Chains A and B, each alone.
Chain A
Amino acid sequence: MPRIQPPAVLFALTGLAGLALPLVQLRPNRIVPGEGIALAGLPGGAAITIVMAVVLLAACLPRWTADLRLGVAIAGLLAVLLLLGMAATHLQQSGNALARVSPAVGFWLLLLAFGLMAADAVGRLRLSLTWRWAMLAGAVGIAAAILVSGILDGVSVMREYASRSDLFAREARAHLTLALGSLGLALLAGIPLGIAVYQSPRWRGPVLSVLNIVQTVPSLALFGIMIPVLGWVAATVPGAGAAGVSGIGAFPALTALFLYALLPVVSNTLAGLTGVPVAIRDAAVGLGMTRAQVLGQVLMPLALPVLLAAVRIVMVQNIGLAVIAGLIGGGGFGTFVFQGLNQTAMDLVLLGALPTVALALVAGIALDLLVQGTRRPAP
């Protein structure tokens, strides 16, 4: 029964709104408000606006297959990014050197429209795992190529980047160290703790409820409280200061992230182990395996998918929470976010927020694929 696709109508309406609203904002310098310029207001923009509107409306037709839609969506996403870069370059040539061109509502709506179209198409295509890995790699590769090519260099966020590229590399490393370091520590401590509460059920309730309460404490509060607590530990416990414990810098942030990460790791280790059917455990014991062998060779491999799910939760959560470290002097992309908020320099806020969002998205999708890979029944 051929009829119009309702989701495609939603994408078309979003995209048309994006075409009508300002694509970019031109400001005399980095902190004052400016004027919005729609795509149609740029040289050659009227023709592109019409082409895009026609494509968006045509995508509503029932004949279009999912792979055709996906192709259109990818082309649309690329076109929107290129248009942003070209608009920035053009507007800056004709204006003063301090002028800033930043993406405006129209740009974000167009990105949303084509992004949703791509997501919808991918969902309908039911691609194999290999294909989805390839698509993720392709998307990251294309994004990197666009950033390196310099097409977007005129856009305000990239100009903020250009003036502090060394600092950006340092904060990126700090951010990754915080997120990955706390994950590593949480795995080192959380897996043995999870095994321990699996073997002595008496401790399950108390351990899990303490970790639950830690998880409930708001991040800013926990980060803040770590500073005096660790400062006190460093000052009073002999050898703690020499071992790297400190109330300032990245250490309080790392500790707070570690504490947040413990609950998912411990509870998923426990869930993974208790999820192994009793018959399998009994069979292993019946084969004459020791307790350690049963745990290491039978239970843990079977609990792996659930444990990997915890890694995904912690990874995504910590990439986001590491932003707060910027507020307590712990480094990371949060440094740019909060510096930008203080100076009301929105480009700087974006320089911190956009990489965080991108990192969380890529890590989330990659780990999802990894979890699905381990869940597949063995051949």
Chain B
Amino acid sequence: MTGRWMMAIAGMVLAAFLVAPDRFAPLFQPLTRNGAPAIYQQTSILSLTLSHLGIVTVAVLASTVAGLVLAILVTRRSGREFLPLARTVTAVGQTLPPVAVLALAVPVMGFGTGPTLVALFLYGMLPVFENALAGLTGQSPQVAEAARGMGLTPVQRLWQIDLPLALPLLLAGMRLTAVISLGTATIGSTVAARTLGEVIIAGLLSANTAFVVQGGLVVGILAVLIHHGFQALERRARLRTGLD
């Protein structure tokens, strides 16, 4: 319960800061030197936050759809041949550092939001795919037996049994993807994507600690909120399937 209260307070402080960042200037003033501004002014922090969240949302949705479709395909009879390969590729892919994937996307795609989106999408697909696969293959034989006994067609079984049972694990995969994407998108500002990383990097370049801290806090609070939001969804999904 205390966790929920802390999340609510963190969310409200974040909202207040995003709406009127200048009100918080006295808090950040001690962190500046030589009369440097206490609040990042070049671009509004709110618009950077929205752009950051926009990039992450698009990437997470795209990787969820792609990862889920792939997981469904390799668990059908016609796609079984691809299952071992898919497992290997996912395992190997997840050892690749997200930052390196971002850096490697630039030579191919150039600067801007595009390479960041593609890197986030490709990397984010792996946790979603892995978890969806675990959810689709990990159910008890009794469930499959019961579904066959009820006379469900394969499509009905997928929609009414397999996917609802896999939902909690799928959500856990989306949570991993969302948190990783949020962090990697921050680094995306080094390849000219419009994200909150801009604030942190401006702070690092001008040795203005206030910028570093405010950028870091906004991203950090967002990450913690998203993490807890997904966990709440997972609990609800597990309750609904009766697994808990």
**A binding-site residues for B, Cβ under 8 Å:** 5-7, 10, 102, 105, 108, 116, 119-120, 122-124, 209, 212-213, 216-222, 224-225, 227-228, 316, 319-321, 323-324, 327-328, 334, 337-338, 340-341, 344, 346, 349-350, 352-353, 356-357, 360-361, 363-365, 368
Those of B16-64 within 8 Å (CB) of chain A:
31
Q: Which residue on chain B has the smallest CB distance to residue A248?
A: B207
How far, in whole Å, are A80 and B85 apart by their CA atoms in the complex?
22
CB distance from A123 to the nearest CB of B (A): 4
A357 touches B216 (CB 8 A): no
Task: Chain A residues near B209: list those with CB within 8 A.
Answer: 227-228
A218 to B107 Cα, complex, angstroms? 24
Q: Which of A7, A108, A218, A360 contacts B97 (CB 8 A)?
A: A360
In the complex, the 5 A-B pairs of residues with the closest C-beta atoms, listed nearest first? A320-B97, A221-B216, A218-B183, A364-B95, A346-B107
A346 to B182, CA, bound (A): 25
Report yes or no: B216 in contact with A360, Cβ–Cβ below 8 A.
Answer: no
The reply to whether B95 and A116 form a contact with Cβ atoms under 8 Å apart is no
Residues of A contacting B100 in the complex (Cβ-Cβ under 8 angstroms): 320, 323, 337, 353, 356-357, 360
Q: Are A216 and B216 closer than 8 Å at their CB atoms?
A: no
Query: Which one of B126-134, B145-153, B186-194 contacts A?
Result: B186-194
Grouping DSSP codes into helix (H, G, I), strand (E, B) and loop, the B interface class, with mixed when no group exceeds half, is helix
Q: How many B residues are at the interface, by size bracket? A: 35 or more
User: Judging by beta carbons under 8 Å apart, are B216 and A217 in contact?
Assistant: yes
* Cβ contact within 8 Å between B223 and A216: yes
Cβ B31 vs Cβ A228 within 8 A: yes
Q: Which residues of A contact B217 (CB under 8 A)?
A: 221
Interface residues of B (CB under 8 A from A): 3, 31, 79, 81-82, 84-85, 87-89, 91-92, 95-100, 103-104, 106-108, 111, 179, 182-184, 186-187, 190-191, 197, 200-201, 203-204, 209, 212-213, 215-217, 219-220, 223-224, 227
12 of the cross-chain contacts (CB-CB < 8 Å) are A7-B85, A216-B227, A217-B220, A218-B182, A218-B223, A219-B99, A323-B103, A338-B190, A340-B103, A341-B103, A352-B103, A368-B91
Least Cβ–Cβ distance between A207 and chain B, in angstroms: 15
Q: Which residue on B lies nearest to A336, using beta carbons?
A: B103
Please state if A341 and B89 are interface contacts (CB–CB under 8 Å): no
Chain B: minimal CB distance from A209 (Å): 8
CB-CB under 8 A for A219 and B187, given A323-B100, A328-B204: yes
Across the interface, do A221 and B220 meet the contact criterion of CB distance under 8 Å? yes
